[in-house]
C-alpha cells in the first residue's frame, strides 16, 4: 500500500519533469532554428565544436538524463560487453568493426596508463570473442599532451599485444596542432620499430593533407581518409564543404592509384556522403581496382541501410564502434558534422 502511494505521489513530479524537458527541447529547437536561419549552418557547427571541448558543457549535458538516450544512437554503450555485442551483431550482418574506447586529453599519467590498460583488455576480449574487429585510439588518450614518451610507450605496449593476436591498431587524427607529432609517432613505430599492424588517419579538410598523403603513398601506409571533425582556422583548412569534398576525392584517387597499390597502400574511405562513395567506386572501376582492395568505413548508428547496401554490392565495409563513459566530445562532434541531427534528437525528445 505504501509503495502504491509513493508511485502516485511521484507521478505528478515525473510528469512535470517530462514537460520541462519537452519545453526546453522546443525552446532549443526554436532558438537554434532562428540562429541557423540568420547565421547559417557553419555558425551552428562552430558552436557545437566549441561545446565539445567545454568542460562546463560536458558536466551539464552528461548530468542530464535524456542526454544519454540521445547519444546512444552514436555510441554502442558505456561497457565493453556492449561493444563486443555490437561487434558480433555487425559481423553477423557481414560487416567488420573498429572498436574505440572513448577518451581523450587525459589530465595525468595515471589516467593515460588506465586508458592503455583498458585498450589492452579490449584486445584480449576481441581475441577471446573471435570477432572481426580492430582498435582505434587517440594519442591524447595515452598521454600525448602530457609527455610524448608516455604516449609512445603506451602505444608500443598496445601494438605489441595487438601483434600477438594478429590485430591492427589505427591512430585517430586529432586537432591540427597534433598532426605533426601524431605522424612522427606513427612513423617511429611503423618504420623505426617495425610495427606493420599500425595505421593512421588523414583529414581532407586540412590544406596540408595532400602533401601528407604523397609521403604516405610512398611509404605504403594504411590510411583511413575522413573529412575531419574539428574546428580549424581558415588559414590551414577548407571552410567550405564543397572544397573539402573535392580534396577528399583527390586524396582518395592518390591512394587508389596504380603506384599506391604497388607500394602496398591500404585505404579505408570514411564517409556516408553518397557523392564521395560514388566517386570512389567510379575511380576504382575505371582503374580496375578490385572491391576487396579498399574499404568503406561508416559510423555506428548512422545509415544502417547504406552499410548493408555496400556490403551487398561486394564491398568491404567496417563500422566504427565507440563505447565508454567519455562519450560527450564524440557525440558533440557527430552533431557538428551534420547539424540536422540536432533537430532529429530534439524532435525525438519532444515526442518522448
Which pLDDT value is given to residue 302? 84
Question: Does 73 qualify as catalytic in the annotation?
Answer: no
**In contact, 90 and 321? CB cutoff 8 Å:** yes
DSSP 8-class letter at 130: T
Reported as type and span, the H/E element at residue 106 is none
Which pLDDT value is given to residue 66? 65
Instruction: Pick out the chain residues at pLDDT < 70.
Output: 1-69, 71, 327-352
Residue of 100, 172, 212, 245 marked catalytic: 172
Grid cell in block for residue 139:
594519442
3-state secondary structure of 107: coil
Reported as type and span, the H/E element at residue 169 is strand 169-171
Q: What are the distances in angstroms from CA 269 to CA 89, 92, 183?
A: 22, 22, 19
Residue 295's closest CA among 269, 277, 260? 269
pTM for the whole structure: 0.80
Q: Give tens-digit pLDDT for 169-189.
A: 999 999 999 999 999 999 999
Reported as type and span, the H/E element at residue 246 is helix 241-255
Which pLDDT value is given to residue 230? 79
Residue of 161, 224, 318, 333 marked catalytic: 224
Interhelix angle for 340-351 vs 2-39, to 10°? 150
Which pLDDT value is given to residue 2? 44
Question: Does 172 qualify as catalytic in the annotation?
Answer: yes
Which pLDDT value is given to residue 324? 86
Which pLDDT value is given to residue 43? 61
Residue 137: what are its φ and ψ, rounded to 5°?
-150, 165
**In contact, 300 and 76? CB cutoff 8 Å:** yes
DSSP 8-class letter at 194: -
Residue 93 CB: number of other CB atoms within 10 A?
12
**In contact, 254 and 281? CB cutoff 8 Å:** no
Amino acid at each position: 500500500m505504501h509503495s502504491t502511494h509513493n508511485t502516485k505521489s511521484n507521478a505528478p513530479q515525473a510528469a512535470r519533469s517530462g514537460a520541462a524537458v519537452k519545453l526546453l527541447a522546443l525552446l532549443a529547437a526554436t532558438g537554434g532554428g532562428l540562429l541557423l536561419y540568420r547565421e547559417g549552418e557553419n555558425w551552428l557547427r562552430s558552436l557545437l565544436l566549441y561545446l565539445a571541448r567545454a568542460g562546463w558543457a560536458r558536466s551539464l549535458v552528461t548530468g542530464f538524463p535524456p542526454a544519454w538516450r540521445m547519444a546512444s544512437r552514436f555510441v554502442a554503450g558505456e561497457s565493453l560487453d556492449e561493444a563486443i555485442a555490437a561487434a558480433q551483431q555487425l559481423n553477423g550482418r557481414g560487416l567488420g568493426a573498429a572498436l574505440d574506447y572513448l577518451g581523450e586529453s587525459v589530465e595525468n599519467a595515471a589516467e593515460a596508463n588506465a586508458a592503455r590498460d583498458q585498450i589492452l583488455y579490449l584486445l584480449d576480449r576481441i581475441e577471446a570473442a573471435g570477432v572481426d574487429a580492430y582498435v582505434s585510439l587517440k594519442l591524447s588518450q595515452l598521454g600525448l599532451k602530457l609527455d610524448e614518451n608516455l604516449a609512445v610507450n603506451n602505444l608500443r605496449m598496445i601494438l605489441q599485444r595487438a601483434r600477438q593476436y594478429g590485430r591492427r591498431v589505427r591512430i585517430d587524427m586529432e586537432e591540427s596542432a597534433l598532426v605533426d607529432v601524431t605522424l612522427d609517432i606513427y612513423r617511429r613505430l611503423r618504420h623505426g620499430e617495425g610495427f606493420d599492424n599500425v595505421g593512421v588517419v588523414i583529414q581532407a579538410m586540412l590544406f596540408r593533407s595532400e602533401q601528407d598523403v604523397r609521403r604516405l603513398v610512398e611509404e605504403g601506409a594504411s590510411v583511413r581518409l575522413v573529412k575531419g571533425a574539428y574546428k580549424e582556422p581558415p588559414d590551414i583548412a577548407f571552410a567550405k564543404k564543397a572544397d573539402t569534398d573535392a580534396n577528399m576525392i583527390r586524396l582518395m584517387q592518390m591512394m587508389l592509384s596504380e603506384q599506391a597499390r604497388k607500394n602496398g597502400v591500404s585505404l579505408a574511405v570514411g564517409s556516408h556522403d553518397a557523392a564521395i562513395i560514388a566517386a570512389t567506386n567510379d575511380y576504382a572501376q575505371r582503374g580496375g581496382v578490385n572491391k576487396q582492395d579498399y574499404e568503406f568505413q561508416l559510423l555506428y548508428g548512422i545509415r544502417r541501410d547504406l552499410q548493408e547496401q555496400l556490403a551487398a554490392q561486394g564491398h568491404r565495409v567496417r563500422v566504427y564502434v565507440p563505447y565508454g563513459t567519455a562519450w560527450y566530445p564524440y557525440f558533440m562532434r557527430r552533431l557538428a558534422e551534420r547539424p540536422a541531427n540536432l533537430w532529429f534528437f530534439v524532435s525525438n525528445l519532444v515526442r518522448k
